[in-house]
Structure 1
Amino acid sequence: MGAGGQRIEPASSGVFTWEEVQSHCSRNDQWLVIDRKVYNVTEWAKRHPGGFRVIHHYAGEDATEAFTAFHPDKKFVQRFLKPLLIGELAETELSQDRQKNAAVIQDFQALYAHAEERGLFRAHSLFFLAHLAHILLMEILAWLLVRHGGTGWIQTALCAILMATAQIQAGWLQHDFGHLSVFRKSSWNHLAHKFLIGHLKGGSANWWNHRHFQHHAKPNVFSKDPDVNMLRIFVVGATQPVEYGTKKIKLMPYNHQHRYFFLVGPPLLIPIYFHLQIMHVMISRRDWVDMTWCLSYYLRYLSCYIPLYGILGTVALIIFVRFLESHWFVWVTQMNHLPMDIDHEKHQDWLTMQLQATCNIEKSPFNDWFSGHLNFQIEHHLFPTMPRHNYHRVAPLVRALCDKHKIPYQVKTLGEGMIDVIRSLKTSGNLWLDAYLHK
């Protein structure tokens, strides 16, 4: 649709080569390919609900698997794609990744279709309702504990632990709705997402969408995945440290980053960096809807705890809760990605790209709950709209496919995953030091 709701008719259909498609990869000129059809998404990218950056990351590329992964209702999305269609690829044309890995791509598409036939993309409402209930129960118990038990140090510490646990579990649950993996109607998922991240956590759904979908589209790819943008505080992977060392960049003593990580990583990510970023995004974009949801969280929290702790005590309590939540969040999210391959764009097929950037943590009732089932990070990245209670069902099929094509499928214990975070930071830091001193 054009400005003012006026329908834009598709341009005359043409036949294109990959060289022509790849030439349209700038921010002001973006083409992409889905199922061999060529679309001009230059103007649409600005209105894309997932943000313009996630589309730009595939400009001049084949986005078939990414499109399939992110959009559960293909018929609905086709209404928006149709006016953008400008032609198709010539019969003899194949993208670089499809030329190299045609068998992998074909087998993964077959696996995706098989998962749909088995009903693995259908959610069990009671599963998610139970998770919401236990979050609300912890919130209520935390308040009742200090309301009737007093505000001593022990009661306050227990209250903070309950609140932090509720916050992290609400974070995992909002993640489910953000990926449209609960309800069949996208609008219901969006509404539940705003309630969970806004009213229960004081965050912004649009900020999360625009950031997180970039991570899924190009995981561990510099300049495309915001989760590996370390603001030059850390160097990660094997390429970036050498680049920094060769250029004599020494903004931090990177050879000690595995030590100062404990001071600036887990403690500060949510209380400082995410909090400031969320506020900046909502204000700069005048996102009044998300601001209202966010404000409802703080009004609820302040009205509950100011009568018990006063203004300064209430502020101190929420900072401590965010401090605890941030530690939990960082370790869970980083152990699946940070020790894996982190590099510049390689233009790989969907399966290979996701497997090189992700690993799993062993399944257990505790690990499933502790990580919000993100211990199945591989399956989540391959099938982001799949309800998390089905990851363990599709995992053996994914592993068999990886074994067939000799693609590494890594599974670690929870302890190994956490240790590998520090080990990878130390390795990257040493690579930087060696390049800094000798190149």
Structure 2
Amino acid sequence: MGQDQSVRSAQIPAAKVIYIQGKAYDVTTWSRWHPGGSLVFEHWAGKDATEPFTAFHPPAVRDRLKSLEVQNSQAPSNAPKASLRLQQLSLKLHLDGLFCTSYWFYAKTFLWAAGLLSLGIWAATCARPVVAALAVALFWQQMAFVGHDAGHNAVTHDRWVDGILGLIVTSTVGIGISWWKHTHNVHHTCPNSVDCDPDIQFMPIIAVDEAYFTSLHSRHHDATLTFDRTARRLISYQHFTFLPLLMFAKWGLYNESCKQLLFKRAYIDRKAEVCAQVLFFCWYFLLAAQLPTAGSRAAFILLSHAAFFILHLQICLSHFAAPTFLGTPQAEEGWLALQVQGTINWSCPPWLDWLHGGLQFQIEHHLFPRMPRHNLRKASPHVQALCQELGLPYHMPSFFGAIQETFVRLRKTALLARKAVLD
């Protein structure tokens, strides 16, 4: 690992027993049905999971755990001060109404997205492929933000209703809600773990840490991330290829979404999600067909996907430059420390919040994933003050500063890759 990285090692216990508020729960059987996936239990098995449980679930879910309780089992200790202060802050934000959704906000968001799609349709029928492509790409980005909110049950706070909203987003963006839930919940529970977090595992084309030069085993994919001659060559120039690669990233998400539905668990009704995926490709290629020539249709398809790179860039900026670690989260360090150490905010004026979709307040979102994104800006000063009180980092460069930090990190790892010795 690099000298400036915060690296920790840990082992995943074999038993899937978690501890919540001093009580033990055997989730071995239940984990396969868990709406957030089973991998999150593997990363928190044998540990005090009170904080991640509270972050992801409303209080009513606690009552459903009684049938899983293990009697006469003592919970491990957690970081008392940070945990207590974070709990106090969470209660204050609840009382201040920051977990309440403004449906007017989402009404405006849908109107804005509908306007973008209408512009794309108009431009396509008027043989203006560039305008159509840019409008559709921005439409995708805005709808993806809604899908992200719905996936966290942060819109209506009703899992079934937000699931339906997720299917609607799948039909407009083409990114499967089941694939998203399979990867994103794991990412939240172990942000920037080189072997557990799928959001930083992009071998053999991108490596954010030299730990990947050892052909690391991915616990998420249950596969070895091989570092060979081809990987070393690609990673050696990743700081130059990073942005161009993002222009093709959406094609990879189609592939991952389809594989999830064909071979893995469906977190929403499988038939409904398949229909949503098919509907997306139908309307999208029908729109492309409105353009008069094969060249203009190809330009529209390529440019709309390339312009979608802005969302992938925003996602990468949130974590690529932050410190990484090896293994599973250490509960004694606390949920607050885990999230702020592996996550980066960036500053922007309020009038640009629509462009970043809440991703600019990634720290607050990771701490309170059920908080509607239109309230994250209000929560930010409180979180910043708490981090200052506890001596924890709260990193918030400008948007372009975050891009620069990501470039520096990728360049540093690229130079190390050129010197790395193959096994």
Q: TM-score if structure 2 supplies the norm length?
A: 0.87
| TM superposition shift of 1:248 | 8.1
User: What is residue 379 of structure 2 aligned with on the other side?
Assistant: 394
Once the two structures are superposed, what CA deviation does each residue of 1:41-80 show, in whole Å capped at 9, x if it has no partner? 11111111121112222122221111111113x21x2353
Q: Which amino acid aligns with 2:285?
A: L
* Counterpart selection for 1:419 from 401, 404, 409: 404
Q: CA RMSD in A?
A: 2.5
User: What is residue 299 of structure 1 aligned with on the other side?
Assistant: 282
User: What is residue 71 of structure 1 aligned with on the other side?
Assistant: 57
Separation in 1, partners of 2:417, 2:299: 38
User: Are the aligned partners of 1:367 and 1:373 in contact in 2 as well (CA < 8 Å)?
Assistant: no
Residue 23 to residue 390, structure 1, CA distance change in 2 (3 Å): closer
User: What is residue 232 of structure 2 aligned with on the other side?
Assistant: 252
| TM superposition shift of 1:321 | 1.1
User: Is it true that 1:317 corresponds to 2:300 in the alignment?
Assistant: yes
* Counterpart selection for 1:267 from 247, 251, 257: 247
User: What is residue 177 of structure 1 aligned with on the other side?
Assistant: 150
Separation in 1, partners of 2:351, 2:324: 29
User: Are the aligned partners of 1:306 and 1:314 in contact in 2 as well (CA < 8 Å)?
Assistant: yes
Separation in 1, partners of 2:393, 2:122: 49
| TM superposition shift of 1:239 | 4.1
User: Are the aligned partners of 2:116 and 2:135 in contact in 1 as well (CA < 8 Å)?
Assistant: yes
Residue 110 to residue 200, structure 1, CA distance change in 2 (3 Å): same
The structure having more radius of gyration, on CA atoms, is: 1
Separation in 1, partners of 2:32, 2:322: 32
Question: Within 5 A, what are the aligned runs for 1:192-203?
Answer: 192-196=165-169, 198-203=170-175
Task: Identify which range, 168-177 or 357-366, moves more after superposition.
Answer: 357-366
| TM superposition shift of 1:356 | 0.6
User: What is residue 9 of structure 1 aligned with on the other side?
Assistant: none
Any idea what SS the aligned residue of 1:360 has?
A: coil
Structure 1, gaps ≥5 residues long = 1-21
User: Is it true that 1:34 corresponds to 2:17 in the alignment?
Assistant: no
User: What is residue 30 of structure 2 aligned with on the other side?
Assistant: 44
User: Is it true that 1:134 corresponds to 2:122 in the alignment?
Assistant: no
Separation in 1, partners of 2:110, 2:367: 25
Separation in 1, partners of 2:297, 2:16: 49
Residue 23 to residue 405, structure 1, CA distance change in 2 (3 Å): closer
User: Is it true that 1:224 corresponds to 2:196 in the alignment?
Assistant: yes
Separation in 2, partners of 1:114, 1:369: 26
Any idea what SS the aligned residue of 1:164 has?
A: helix
User: Are the aligned partners of 1:361 and 1:417 in contact in 2 as well (CA < 8 Å)?
Assistant: yes
Residue 249 to residue 146, structure 1, CA distance change in 2 (3 Å): closer
User: Is it true that 1:85 corresponds to 2:66 in the alignment?
Assistant: no
Any idea what SS the aligned residue of 1:223 has?
A: coil
| TM superposition shift of 1:87 | 2.4
User: What is residue 4 of structure 2 aligned with on the other side?
Assistant: none
User: What is residue 116 of structure 1 aligned with on the other side?
Assistant: 94
User: What is residue 7 of structure 2 aligned with on the other side?
Assistant: none
User: Are the aligned partners of 2:56 and 2:369 in contact in 1 as well (CA < 8 Å)?
Assistant: yes
Residue 315 to residue 45, structure 1, CA distance change in 2 (3 Å): farther
User: Are the aligned partners of 2:48 and 2:76 in contact in 1 as well (CA < 8 Å)?
Assistant: no
Q: Which amino acid aligns with 1:156?
A: P
| TM superposition shift of 1:344 | 0.8
| TM superposition shift of 1:158 | 0.8
Once the two structures are superposed, what CA deviation does each residue of 1:124-143 show, in whole Å capped at 9, x if it has no partner? 00001111111011101111
* Counterpart selection for 1:158 from 111, 131, 137: 131
Residue 435 to residue 329, structure 1, CA distance change in 2 (3 Å): same
| TM superposition shift of 1:260 | 2.6
Q: Which amino acid aligns with 2:123?
A: L
Q: TM-score if structure 1 supplies the norm length?
A: 0.84
User: Is it true that 1:381 corresponds to 2:381 in the alignment?
Assistant: no
Relative CO higher for 1 or 2, CA cutoff 8 Å, sep ≥ 6?
Answer: 2
User: Are the aligned partners of 2:323 and 2:342 in contact in 1 as well (CA < 8 Å)?
Assistant: yes
Separation in 1, partners of 2:364, 2:403: 20
| TM superposition shift of 1:176 | 0.9
| TM superposition shift of 1:104 | 1.1
Residue 40 to residue 262, structure 1, CA distance change in 2 (3 Å): same
User: What is residue 141 of structure 2 aligned with on the other side?
Assistant: 168
* Counterpart selection for 2:13 from 3, 12, 25: 25
User: What is residue 319 of structure 2 aligned with on the other side?
Assistant: 337
| TM superposition shift of 1:159 | 0.9
Aligned residues: percent identity? Answer: 26
User: Are the aligned partners of 2:178 and 2:257 in contact in 1 as well (CA < 8 Å)?
Assistant: no
Separation in 2, partners of 1:175, 1:114: 25
Residue 82 to residue 366, structure 1, CA distance change in 2 (3 Å): same
User: Are the aligned partners of 1:51 and 1:209 in contact in 2 as well (CA < 8 Å)?
Assistant: yes
| TM superposition shift of 1:201 | 1.0
| TM superposition shift of 1:399 | 0.8
Any idea what SS the aligned residue of 1:57 has?
A: helix
| TM superposition shift of 1:164 | 0.5
User: What is residue 4 of structure 1 aligned with on the other side?
Assistant: none
Q: Which amino acid aligns with 1:199?
A: S
Q: Which amino acid aligns with 2:62?
A: Q
